Amino acid sequence: MEMPAPSAAVLAKRDRIVERLRKLLPADAVIDDPAETRAYECDALTAYACSPLAVVLPSTTEEVSAILGLCHAEQVPVVPRGAGTSLAGGSLPTEDSVILGVARMTEVLETDYDNRFIRVQTGRTNLSVTGAVEEDGFFYAPDPSSQLACAIAGNIAMNSGGAHCLKYGVTTNNLLGVTLVQMDGTVLELGGAHLDPGGLDLLGVVCGSEGQLGVVTEATLRILPKPEGARPVLMGFFSNEIAGACVSDIIKAGVLPVAIEFMDRPCIRACEAFAKAGYPDVEALLIVEVEGSETEIEEQLGLILQIARRHEPEVLREAADADEAARIWLGRKSAFGAMGQINDYICLDGTIPVSKLPEVLRGIRELSRGYGLEVANVFHAGDGNMHPLILFNANEGELGKAEALGADILTLCVEVGGCLTGEHGVGIEKRDLMSVQYTPADLEAQMRVKDVFDPAWLLNPAKVFPLAASASRRIAAE
């Protein structure tokens, strides 16, 4: 997208701010050359882009505090950024904002196996948290598909999940404490390596707050001992409805797989073409994984296969060895990349009660026909977290139509008792749908909490809340 040139006022302000920032930080930690700031114009929601005023890359909590203190004094908006993998535009800049990127903050600060936690700077990637402890037999459970790239900072901002969150919970269930720098530069320590302490649980509201309340610079994360083994099984069914019913039955039976993933035919074909995972060409595919000792695996799989057989599967295949297991997961985890090869797409994140799966899949098919756009489905079925991928052709100007279909699908999710977003966050993408999810009183209560932490509404502007509401809040504060 071509950007208009910045105005003279913006340029003058930029020069002053950048000059002051350079006094706080090493020379290479302040970027204002437009050729370099271009890399920060957008995140993984690439349909939207905007050049920031400048980019800063601090290395410590103290530097973050100094940056925020300065921007607070100068009333400059700040957009916190992890690895820029947000699918919801969670780190999209505005032209008057400074991007505060935590990419250089990757240190492991403390590892404590006795008490099963690790403390890291939040620029560290999700996978490299596990990387720091896996030789000692531990792992960090939440596993977004982007885990190779995405930063813990963004995981906390979006309360990210992943395929294995059915058993282990999402980020909030694995986050013990954070260091939070408030917009005025003051530093709070929230939570710690113990049960929730007394007082108001600010950690709970910071997790998932999408950079609206402060910048999280350090995090204490729960680590778990690696299970002895794990085994996925592939199940192919004749229809989405049958696969959905099978998921419901597994959940009801009380057996707890670590993951139940669902893909429909358009998604299966794209993944197969891309990753050669050996997926069968069926209408609907489930990947169900169990873990534990060999005995536990056998016992759980026995029960799951028995349930699956009642739904007359076309295919039922246990991974024979570790290689095959890895290939099965590679296919699933590359689903978004695979779709991106052949189409423009919007990835939704609506979440529904598990029993509504067949109904919602039918509704999506009808809506998709009405708009004349294909929708591929791939999602964490076990906890009802859907990721419908709306396929469209940007060059033919279909983005608007795709967004309208997305809004209709998310509204359907809310109508059946679900919500707009399970793990990707609201960002800019869903801000104006928030009034579908929440009453004016609900939103007002949330915005009053935002007022507490960021009275001038400088942090990560124009996101999460309906644009009109956050704009009027910003103006009222000025």
Residues from 247 through 266 that contact a second copy (CB under 8 A): 248, 251-254
Among 10, 50, 108, 193, interactor with a second copy by CB under 8 A: 193
- CB nearer a second copy, residue 98 or residue 469: 469
- Which of positions 324-363 make contact with a second copy (CB under 8 A)? 351-355
33 token code pair: 């050359």
- Measured CA to CA in angstroms, residue 420 lies from 232, 325, 417, 438, 478 at distances of 29, 32, 10, 10, 31
- Which of positions 7-36 make contact with a second copy (CB under 8 A)? none
251 touches 353 (CB < 8 A): no
- Which of positions 419-458 make contact with a second copy (CB under 8 A)? 419-423, 425-426, 430, 434, 437-439, 441-443, 445-446, 448-453
Amino acid, res. 79: V
- Which of positions 295-314 make contact with a second copy (CB under 8 A)? 295-296, 299
Among 31, 76, 190, 375, interactor with a second copy by CB under 8 A: 190
Which residues contact residue 39 at a Cβ distance below 8 angstroms, ignoring those fewer than 6 apart? none
* H helix runs in 318-462, sequence order: 322-333, 335-342, 357-371, 399-415, 434-437, 440-453
Residue-wise DSSP of 231-283: EEEEEEES-HHHHHHHHHHHHHHT---SEEEEEEHHHHHHHHHHH-------S
Among 19, 36, 189, 312, interactor with a second copy by CB under 8 A: 189
- CB nearer a second copy, residue 68 or residue 170: 170
49 touches 428 (CB < 8 A): no
- CB nearer a second copy, residue 6 or residue 353: 353
Half-sphere exposure of 298 (CA within 13 A, CB side): 3
Max Cα distance, the chain (Å)? 70
What is the closest distance, in whole angstroms, from the C-beta atom of residue 3 to a second copy in the complex? 28
Rule CB under 8 A: say whether 240 interacts with a second copy: no
Among 132, 205, 316, 407, interactor with a second copy by CB under 8 A: 205
How many residues touch a second copy (CB under 8 A)? 86
- Counting beta carbons within 10 angstroms of the beta carbon of residue 312, is it exposed (0 to 12), middle (13 to 18) or buried (19 or more)? exposed
Among 2, 9, 23, 198, interactor with a second copy by CB under 8 A: 198
- Which of positions 159-178 make contact with a second copy (CB under 8 A)? 159, 161, 169-170, 172-173
- Which of positions 136-155 make contact with a second copy (CB under 8 A)? 137
Q: Which of 392, 373, 361 is nearest to 284 (CA)?
A: 361
From 55-63, 317-325, 361-369, 411-419, span contacting a second copy (CB under 8 A)? 411-419
Q: Compute the distance between CA of residue 119 and CA of residue 182 in angstroms, rounded to an integer.
A: 20
Dihedral of alpha carbons 301, 304, 309, 315, sign: negative
Rule CB under 8 A: say whether 364 interacts with a second copy: no
- CB nearer a second copy, residue 186 or residue 472: 186
Rule CB under 8 A: say whether 384 interacts with a second copy: yes
What is the closest distance, in whole angstroms, from the C-beta atom of residue 153 to a second copy in the complex? 17
